[in-house]
Amino acid sequence: MSGLYIHIPFCRHKCCYCSFVSQPCTGSPPAAYLEALLKHIRQYSRLDWLKDREITSIFIGGGTPSLYDGKSLARLISACRYNFTCQPGLEISMESNPNSLSPAQLSLCREAGLNRLSIGVQSFNDRLLMVLGRSHDRNQARLAFSMARAAGFDNINLDLMYNLPGQSLDDWRETLRQVMALAPEHLSIYELSVEPGTPFAELWESRRLNLLAEEEVVEQENMTYTLLEDEGFERYEISNFARPGRQCRHNLNYWRNGSYLGLGAAAVSCLSGLRLRNIENAETYIKMVCQGLTPLAEGEALSIEASFRESVIMGLRMLKGVSLTDLQLRYDLHPLAYYGPILHRLIKRGLIAIDDNYMRLSAEALPVANQILAELV
Ligand code: SF4
């Protein structure tokens, strides 16, 4: 599998918790950035690496790609489809925010081939949305969802967050109740984390940000898992839930440590073990691409062992786990032999299980997954 990722680094304004590469922009994002992207697409479509390779998924992320109008987005999607050899019926996803969608724009995107929409809802509580510094309210989120359905999207993801400052268990239950009333196909649910360099980090350091106690977070998580299971969602990755057959194919490729090409400022590519990162600054990116230069900031060739460890760590994020046959075929390595006593200890403690030729985290390990994965880096 090979994915194509396109990064749009612009947002209405910066949310208080956000550490993604995006910059605030008033009005429409720069047309020059879109032109640079189109040129970058043409430039990279001639890469030798792409010969005999099909693109199996396209993901337009950000930032807020939906700040562009329908015509611009349709041009971008069509350019990807025209310049790369795409698998028939490939998944084409785009991230969006509730207050940057319109019926005409959604229809144009749909006609161009967009078949999966992700909406950054985060919460259905207006007070909490304000705390997060989001630029929309819950009514706009509901409206965005119904516009997407009306435009023909039958594969919609909602992004949600819990462990928000001052969020009670009832607040979270109410958000989930409203989500279920919309009946999306997919949910990405993340615990709020305080990232360095964000306004929340500043508040946290000066003790002006009150996150929930650990027991409250566990209560929120347990309620989420029970409710989603009852509603027919499968938890297939630590933070991702899907109705049958609606798992995100693009992200599955990441978790399987597959290859992908990243275009746009700050985008990362991983081409058969070669890791490349584009420069972050959007203006410099535009200038370089327009001058015919390759806008790379850095590159790294991963050793077989480093790539193996990444495959293990990423693969363990999926509840099914990582395939031992795949690891053997790809690296000629077995985790038990490679990690030795560290892995034996985790298995003995019941945190990692090996069965049916898959290695996976046990149910007890999931709440402390990050700590366990850190041991295998
Ligand atoms: S909309 Fe998303 S990418 Fe943009 S600032 Fe907010 S969290 Fe960051």
pLDDT digits (tens, 9 = 90+) for 316-355: 999 999 999 999 999 999 999 999 999 999 999 999 999 9
Q: Which atom of ligand 1 is nearest to the CA of 17?
A: 7
Weakly modelled stretches of the chain, pLDDT under 70: 1
Residue nearest to atom 8 of ligand 1 (CA): 18
Q: CA-to-CA distance for 186 and 167, rounded, in angstroms?
A: 23
* CA–centroid distance, residue 14 to ligand 1 (Å): 6
* CA–centroid distance, residue 344 to ligand 1 (Å): 41
* CA–centroid distance, residue 346 to ligand 1 (Å): 36
pLDDT at position 220 is 98
User: pLDDT tens digit string along 214-255?
Assistant: 999 999 999 999 999 999 999 999 999 999 999 999 999 999
The model's pTM: 0.97
How many other CB atoms are there within 10 angstroms of residue 364's CB atom?
10
* CA–centroid distance, residue 9 to ligand 1 (Å): 9
Q: CA-to-CA distance for 68 and 215, rounded, in angstroms?
A: 42
Q: Give the DSSP per-residue string, 161-229.
A: EES-TT--HHHHHHHHHHHHHH--SEEEEEE----TTSHHHHHHHTT---PPPHHHHHHHHHHHHHHHH
Residue nearest to atom 6 of ligand 1 (CA): 15
Q: Which atom of ligand 1 is nearest to the CA of 95?
A: 2
Residue nearest to atom 5 of ligand 1 (CA): 14
pLDDT at position 257 is 96
pLDDT at position 47 is 87
* CA–centroid distance, residue 294 to ligand 1 (Å): 27
The CATH architecture to which 2-254 belongs is: Alpha-Beta Barrel (3.20)
Contacts of 99 (CB under 8 A, 6+ apart): 12, 135, 136, 140, 144
Q: Which atom of ligand 1 is nearest to the CA of 18?
A: 8
* CA–centroid distance, residue 190 to ligand 1 (Å): 14
Contacts of 206 (CB under 8 A, 6+ apart): none
R_g over Cα of the chain: 21
Q: Which residue has the tokens 């060739």?
A: 301
pLDDT at position 337 is 97
Q: Check: CB of residue 40 under 8 Å from CB of residue 223.
A: no
The pick from 7, 12, 18 for probing ligand 1's pocket by mutation, whose C-beta has the most ligand atoms within 8 angstroms, reads 18
**Residue 94 in 3-state DSSP?**
strand
The angle subtended at Cα 121 by Cα 278 and Cα 247, nearest 5°, is 70
Q: Check: CB of residue 142 under 8 Å from CB of residue 129.
A: no
Residue nearest to atom 3 of ligand 1 (CA): 63
What are the boundaries of each domain within the chain? 2-254, 320-375
Q: CA-to-CA distance for 192 and 197, rounded, in angstroms?
A: 15
pLDDT at position 27 is 87
The pick from 14, 101, 129 for probing ligand 1's pocket by mutation, whose C-beta has the most ligand atoms within 8 angstroms, reads 14
Q: Identify each DSSP E strand in 23-171 by its residue range.
A: 23-24, 55-62, 86-96, 116-122, 156-162
Q: Check: CB of residue 346 under 8 Å from CB of residue 357.
A: no
Question: What pairing do the DSSP bridges indicate for beta strands 274-278 and 296-301?
Answer: antiparallel
Q: Which atom of ligand 1 is nearest to the CA of 19?
A: 8
pLDDT at position 121 is 98
* CA–centroid distance, residue 120 to ligand 1 (Å): 8
What are the pocket residues of ligand 1 if the criterion is a CB atom closer than 6 Å to any ligand atom? 11, 14-15, 18, 20, 22, 62-64, 97, 120
* CA–centroid distance, residue 132 to ligand 1 (Å): 10
pLDDT at position 49 is 86
pLDDT at position 50 is 86
The angle subtended at Cα 322 by Cα 321 and Cα 324, nearest 5°, is 130
**HSE, side-chain direction, 13 A CA sphere, residue 2:** 18
* CA–centroid distance, residue 133 to ligand 1 (Å): 9
Q: Which residue has the tokens 């077989």?
A: 304
Q: Which atom of ligand 1 is nearest to the CA of 13?
A: 5
How many other CB atoms are there within 10 angstroms of residue 293's CB atom?
10
On the 0-12 / 13-18 / 19+ scale of CB atoms within 10 A, 205 is exposed
DSSP state for residue 99 in the 8-state scheme: G
Nearest CA among 63, 143, 136 for reference residue 106? 143
Residue nearest to atom 7 of ligand 1 (CA): 18
Return phi, psi of residue 91, to 5°: -80, 130
**Residue 97 in 3-state DSSP?**
coil
* CA–centroid distance, residue 22 to ligand 1 (Å): 7
pLDDT at position 187 is 98
